[in-house]
Chains A and B, each alone.
Chain A
C-alpha cells in the first residue's frame, strides 16, 4: 500500500516531463550514446595526437592516473607507442560507422523479406520463413570469420558480411508486424481505391511498421558493433592499423599481466556503447509498445 501511494506521488512529480524522458534507461542510454557519437564525430579535434603515429620510445605509457603517466598521453600509449586516447576516439568512428551501415544493409534485406512474407502469406511466407530458419541455423561468427578470411579483411568486407548475415531479426519482426496490420481497415481501404501492391506496401504498411523497425535497428546496430569487435579481436575484422576497439583489445591481450588497463579502457567504451544502444532500444520499445516488454 505504501509503495503504491509512493509510485502515485512519483508519477505526479514527473508528469510534466515528456514521456520518453521519464524512462530512466532511455534517457541514460541516449546521453551515453550522444557522448560517444560526438567523440567519434569530433575525433580530429579532440584527439591529442595522430592515432597512427608510432613512437617506439614511448611504448605502453600508462594513463595519467598511474605512476609514470603524463598529460601528454592522458590514456597512455599502446605497444607501438600510439596515443591510446586518439585511437579510442577514432575507434568510436569505426564502431558507429560499422553498426549503422550494417544495420542499414541488413535492415533493407530483412524488411523486404519480412514485409513480403507477412503481406503475401501463403507459399511466399513458407519459403521466406524457411530462409529465416536456415539463416538462424548458420553460426554467424564462424561464417563471418570464414568469409573475411577468404576475401581478405577490409572495412567493406566486414560491413558486407555482417549486413548479409544479420537480417534475421528484421525479417522475423517485420513479418509478424506486417501480418498484424495486413488486414487492417486502412489497408483494405487503399485496396478498394485501387492502389497497387507496391503503393500499399510503401504508403500503408511501411509507415506502420516503422516503430518496430527502429527498435530492431537499434538492437542490430549493437549486435553489429559487438560482432565487428569480436572479428577484429580474432584478427579477422577490420585490418590494422585502423583503430577498432576489438583490435585494441586483441593487441592489449598480450599485456594483460602487467598492463590490464590496455584491456579495461577500450572494453569499457565498447561495453558502454553497446549498453547505451540497447538501453535506447529497450526504452523505445517500452515507450512505443509498453505491453510487449519482456
Chain B
C-alpha cells in the first residue's frame, strides 16, 4: 500500500466555533493506481490533499488514526523529514497555474531547485533532467523555456511546467488538486491524457481531486465521493458508475452530460446548499437536500459495504436506491 489513510480529520477553529472540514475519512492509494476524490467545492477535498502534505493553513488541526506513506507513519515524522518527503516522494500539483509559479525566478531555476534540494546532483545534471521532463510533458524548445519566467508562458504551459516540476525527483505519489479546472477544455483533455501516460511511464500513484465526474470516469481506478467533510460513497470506478448507491452520488451522476442530454443548455445542479460544518454535527449531512430523507436520517450513518470494496453511507437498502436512482431525481425539482 503506497498511501493508507485512516480516520483523517481536519478541524479549523473559527470565531463561531470549530469548523469540522474533514471528518474521519479513510482511503488508500496503491502504486500505479489512481484514486479520484470527487465532490463540490467546500466538501473538504482540497484540505484533505493539503493535510496529506502537511501544508494545511497554520490554524487548521489535523488528526488521523493512520497516515502511512510507503509504510511510514507521516504523523510521526519531524518537520525536516516531512520536508524531505515532499517533492521527493510525494509531489503536488495545484489548481491555479497562473499563480503557482514564482514570478521572479526562471522556470529552470525553480525546476532545478527541486531536484538539487533532494538529490546531490550538479546544476548541469539538474538542467538536463529539467529539459527532459519539459520535453516529456510536451513543451517544445525546452532549453529556451528554462530561461523564461512564468509570466512569459500561457496557463496551459505553466501547468505543464508544474507537472514537470512535480516529476523532477520521480515521486511515488502525485497529488493533483483540480489540476485542469482553470484551463480551457481542449488543454484540459491534453493535460489529462498527459497525466495518464506519465503515470504509466513512471508507475506513480495518483490522487486526483476534482469536482468533475467526467474527469473521474476517464482517469480513476477508484473513486471516493466526498460530501460535507465525509466520504459518502467509495469503490472501484466501474462499480460506482454502474451502481451509484448514495443519493448524492446519484445526484452528481444526474448532473453529468449523457448522449441524450448533451445538447441541453447546461447541466442540472442538485438543489439546496451544503450544511455549515461548524459545531456539533450529527445525522446524515445530505438529508437536507435528499429526496429520500426520513426521520431516521437524523441519526449518524456509518459507511456500509455493498459489494467488494464498494461502500456507501446511507440508510436506504441498495436495491431501493438503485431502482429509483436517476428517475426520481429527474422528476423531483
Contacts and interface: CB of A to CB of B under 8 A. Distances in A.
A5 B15 contact: no
Nearest to B13: A4
A266 B305 CA distance: 81
Interface in A1-24: 1, 4-5, 8, 11
B61 interface: yes
A44 B89 CA distance: 77
Interface in B1-36: 13, 15
Interface residues of B, number: 4
B61 A8 contact: no
A4 B59 contact: yes
Interface in B115-140: none
Contacts of B13: 1, 4-5, 8
Question: A interface, by DSSP: helix, strand, loop or mixed?
Answer: helix
Contacts, number: 9
Interface size class of A (residues with CB under 8 A): under 10
A4 B15 CA distance: 10
B54 to A, nearest CB: 15
B15 A8 contact: yes
B167 to A, nearest CB: 35
A80 to B, nearest CB: 60
B61 to A, nearest CB: 6
A11 B17 CA distance: 12
Contacts of B59: 1, 4
Contacts of A11: 15
Contacts of B61: 1
Contacts of A5: 13
Contacts of A8: 13, 15
A280 B15 CA distance: 27
B37 to A, nearest CB: 26
A4 B13 CA distance: 8
A22 to B, nearest CB: 13
A7 to B, nearest CB: 9
Nearest to A3: B59
9 contacts: A1-B13, A1-B59, A1-B61, A4-B13, A4-B59, A5-B13, A8-B13, A8-B15, A11-B15
Interface of B: 13, 15, 59, 61
Given A1-B13, A1-B59, A8-B13, 6 more contacts: A1-B61, A4-B13, A4-B59, A5-B13, A8-B15, A11-B15
